[in-house]
Amino acid sequence: MQTENILLQDWQTPFKMPPFEAIRDRDFLPAFDEAMRLHLAEAGQIAGNPAEPTFANTIEALERAGQALRNTASVFFNLVGADTNEERQNIERAISPKLSAHAMVILTDPELFARIAKLFETAASLGLNAEQAQLLENYHKKSVRAGAKLDAPSKARLQEIATRLSELQTAFAQNVLAAEKSFQLTLEGEDDLKGLPDFVRQGAAEAATALGLPGKHVITLSRASIEPFLEFSERRDLREKAYKAYSARGETAGATDNRPLIGEILTLRAERAKLLGYDTYAACQIANTMAKTPANARQLLEDVWGRAREKAEQERAALEAIAQSEGHNEPLAAWDWHHYAEKRRSTEYRLDGRELMPYFELNNMIAAVFDTARRLFGLDFKEVSGVPVYHPDVRVFEVLDRAGKLVGVFLGDYFHRPSKRSGAWMSTFRDQERLDGEVLPIVVNVLNFTKGSPTLLSLDDARTLFHEFGHGLHGLLSDVTYSSLSGTGTDRDFVELPSQLFENWLLQPETLSRFALHAETGEPMPAELLNRVLGARKFNQGFATAEYAASALFDLDIHEAPKPEAVHPEVFEEALRARIGVPDAIALRHRPAHFQHIFAGSSYAAGYYTYLWAEVMEADAFGAFEEAGDIFDPAVAQRLYECVYSSGGKMKPDEAYRAFRGRDPSPEPLIGKRGLTLSSEA
């Protein structure tokens, strides 16, 4: 393409990586405008083609269309998540509604939809392979759900809704980031630091230096900062202050208050669902997933919730007994749970985070995920330099198969910074496809660990690293023809299977004995400590399951509310807590005003249940390796590669799972894994 805008050029860089140093923020808006113009022109040519519609001249042509827009959007939105600034946030607010409107125009174009519909109606006679049939079905489904079958006024209203929702969801995410950046708890002197081990102090010192307070110690609202503080700080008043700030993200009065946005988001989503013929937004969202109906999703959550609540109540009683033994007779509060859970783990399992974390050094854990991928799928990760990156912290690895052939590029962005949104995620700068020749994926894992010298991870941090790398493998191992079906381009309640399944290889003796090496001495984790780690795998699972399941039930409930315009999120939250009996000392994992999964976008809206849905499959799937007697069994790994990690969206999820396991999943392995079968012991 002849253009001076670097975003629209053919990049002559290693791996065709975006040339980040040459891209200026001012390039984005004109690039988006030109890319949308080109996309509309391409779609117009397809719609106006006088030839009879064929799979090639319609569906494959649509797959080719919009490449410039995909390139620009992938660069921009990856930067907005991982390394944003005020100008990028302004651009995001300006461009998000335009992109939403643009997509609706193409999806609901009458001539284009007529071609798609004709192909869909005659699909059985077209001689399509399974992947092509799935792609055609997806295009038809997307168009119908965008309103292609509706009358003109309804289409126009759906476009207005989509545009406004894009504005609201963008604002929601930016408000959470603003709240996280606005808080800092400065620890003054040894009394404020009481109970904090060296690695927490070091992280707090580095956070203070980054904030222009050298010589101080600062706790931020980064999860990697606040969770160890809540675990180890002996200052209950400071734990309360930090916890309340973390819990209240997005609900402080003023310009960044998310509560007013929630009601409008819910109202618009409900209206959209009604226009498309559904009673509720939850029904609309779940109709095209493995669960099919909100009732099916709710059944799983409520089955697990009852067990989790009872287990959590037993855990609470045990923690209160510890607190009372120290002279604290008031009821256990939410800012106490992590603290006394750590003490209980130290006492009952003789596991202390201060003893454990030196064995989970970041570089060793990265080596562990790479080695697991090698033993399962024959992949080799080689770090390379001289490749453009968007931040100096980003590491680049070329990914090779058993024959030494390049299969993709992996980026690791591991450390917290104020310009990065909280949490952890996988994304792509380019998806795998081979419609017009092999296109290799560029996959990125973004995390928020506290940088140290060395960087030490908690056990939960290490699980997160394995989880996101599982998503990364889903993108890297993709083996499809069409980019729309690549990698994570599958049903939302299946997409978490590869990530949650990969977590299983962390807490295996074969992994820990080789990679859990002490950060200072290099000595492997002693067998006795390793056994204690393995023995505590079910510790605190009542709490972990309850806080998650309560959030998932909140998500379903609020998206089935009969009068969403009247919903007050905090009142709704309290009503849910009372109805299902959430213990007072347990907060929802995500409170409404910072529940970005469901309000900063629509992918997980009425879909937060999918983590548990996928975990049923994951726990059952790992059983295939256990039954084989080898957690790296080659035959099982090959089936896993073919049916799950490489198949993207070209197979229906239930068919893909049955092809791997030979049957539907059983929920019993999940119950056992989480230790929710109640006994006399908490």
Residues belonging to the active site: 468
> What stretch of H or E contains 429?
strand 425-430
* Residue labelled with tokens 């807490």: 507
Provide, for the chain, the percentages of residues in helix, strand and coil under a 3-state DSSP scheme, each rounded to the nearest 5: 60, 5, 30
> What stretch of H or E contains 545?
helix 541-558
* Residue labelled with tokens 């609901």: 108
* DSSP per residue, 189-222: HHHHTTT--HHHHHHHHHHHHHTT-TT-EEE-SS
Which among 675, 678, 667 is positioned nearest to 300, based on CA atoms? 667
Report the distance separating Cα 614 and Cα 597, nearest Å.
16
The tokens for 625 are: 């390796």
Contacts of 319 (CB under 8 A, 6+ apart): 332, 336, 337, 340, 341, 344, 585
Type of residue numbered 596: Q
Residue 681, burial from CB neighbour count under 10 angstroms (0-12, 13-18, 19+): exposed
- HEC string for 3-19: CCCHHHCCCCCHHHCCC
Determine the 3-state secondary structure of 430 from DSSP: strand
Report the distance separating Cα 168 and Cα 162, nearest Å.
10
Determine the 3-state secondary structure of 86 from DSSP: helix
Beta strands in 375-424 (DSSP E): 380-384, 395-400, 406-415
633 neighbors 513 (Cβ within 8 angstroms): no
Pairing of strands 380-384, 217-219: unpaired
555 neighbors 569 (Cβ within 8 angstroms): no
Determine the 3-state secondary structure of 649 from DSSP: coil
* DSSP per residue, 270-327: HHHHHHTT-SSHHHHHHTTSSS-SHHHHHHHHHHHHHHHHHHHHHHHHHHHHHHHHTT
91 neighbors 30 (Cβ within 8 angstroms): no
Determine the 3-state secondary structure of 444 from DSSP: strand
606 neighbors 492 (Cβ within 8 angstroms): no
Report the distance separating Cα 501 and Cα 545, nearest Å.
17
Which among 472, 460, 548 is positioned nearest to 506, based on CA atoms? 460
* Residue labelled with tokens 């392995």: 669
Type of residue numbered 318: A
Four-point Cα dihedral 602, 604, 605, 611, nearest 10: 180
> What stretch of H or E contains 446?
strand 442-449
Residue 617, burial from CB neighbour count under 10 angstroms (0-12, 13-18, 19+): buried
Distance from the first to the final alpha carbon of the chain: 65
172 neighbors 596 (Cβ within 8 angstroms): yes
